[in-house]
Amino acid sequence: MPQSITIKKPFDAHIHLRRGAMLRAVTPYTTERFYSGIVMPNTDPPIETLEQAAEYKKEILAAVPAGATFEPLMTFYLTKNLKPAEIEKAAKDGSIRGVKYYPWGYSINSQWGPRNVVDAVEVLHAMENAGIPLLLHSEVHLNDHNEEEDPYEGEKIFFRDILPKLLETYPELKISLEHVSTREAAAFIEKNGKAGQLVATITPHHLVYDRTHAFSGGYRTLLNCKPLIKMREDREALRALVKKGLPFVHAGTDTAPHPESRKFSSCAVYGAFNAPVAVELYTQVFDEIGALDKLEDFLSMNGPKFFGVEPSTASMTLVKRDWQVTESVVTDEGVNVWPIGHVQHGLGNEIIRWQIAA
């Protein structure tokens, strides 16, 4: 069995960095592992203008450690206020790589969007004409009667009832199905995916964990995320999907940091902070399924191709060596941020089997 692997430095197609002290604390962990990535816009306030995106990018670049290089690729939030004219300006400017849709009220800072993505008719037509991708949180939260759907069924409902209509109405719209988590999503993207047109991202935590882990020994708050961690059969379907090495499936960590006061609370906030372990866990999974030969395309090639950027010219070597996450990330305000896999706050004494070579 291989004991090391060298790949082009990876690309992360789904990153949450927050703002302020949190951003300054977590950004170095992403820049150590990824040369570039798609930065999500659900900050408070949301990113919905070119000026806001430019300001946010400047803040991110200021947090990149000296001597490191990282290119944040910016996005708009599909809010009720986003106008087609801003999409047209973004197309001419070239700095906006996607527009993210969140089911209303379903996740962190998701209160600004339309109830249903298909309601944003003018903006979607503008995006289709401009060639700017729609980045879809592909779940249904509320039904037609404004009643909450079962959160374990939301992705299945979206792929059954919403996505086919969206694809029929906007046949030229580029779409990335974000952080897919179910066997239904895996089957849909395998059948319908198309490089450069319809792609999907998969997180490390949806490839590593299943619902038995999320509830092992009590609710595991570090795995409290959206989409929820699903059944073992769903995890195995995602693993089977990435093993195929399809050009329209790639890495998007959905790393989502939160202060411990919000994660370890009676109503734990959603988000899995995985930046300190993401590449290592992806490599571990691909090793377990006998697909290390597919790892570079998944991590480093397919994402850049979809977003029209060049892959990294730098390389990264990982070695098969056991290690553990023993520390938190601490902001400059003294706030702890706990990564998944932590020996105390994760499942308990977790061991990660691959490590980035020094």
In the chain, DSSP finds a helix count (H) and a strand count (E) of: 14, 13
CA distance 148 to 266: 21
CA distance 249 to 194: 9
Contacts for 315 with CB less than 8 Å, ≥ 6 apart: 6, 7, 8, 9
Known catalytic membership, residue 332: no
CA distance 90 to 293: 37
Q: Would you call 55 exposed, middle or buried from its count of C-beta atoms within 10 A (0-12, 13-18, 19+)?
A: exposed
Nearest of 47, 49, 52 to residue 16 by alpha carbon: 47
List 12, 210, 234, 254, catalytic entry:
254
Residue carrying structure tokens 């849909």: 188
Strand partners, 15: 39, 255
Contact criterion met (CB below 8 Å) for 292 and 2: yes
Contact criterion met (CB below 8 Å) for 217 and 268: no
Q: Which residues carry out catalysis?
A: 254
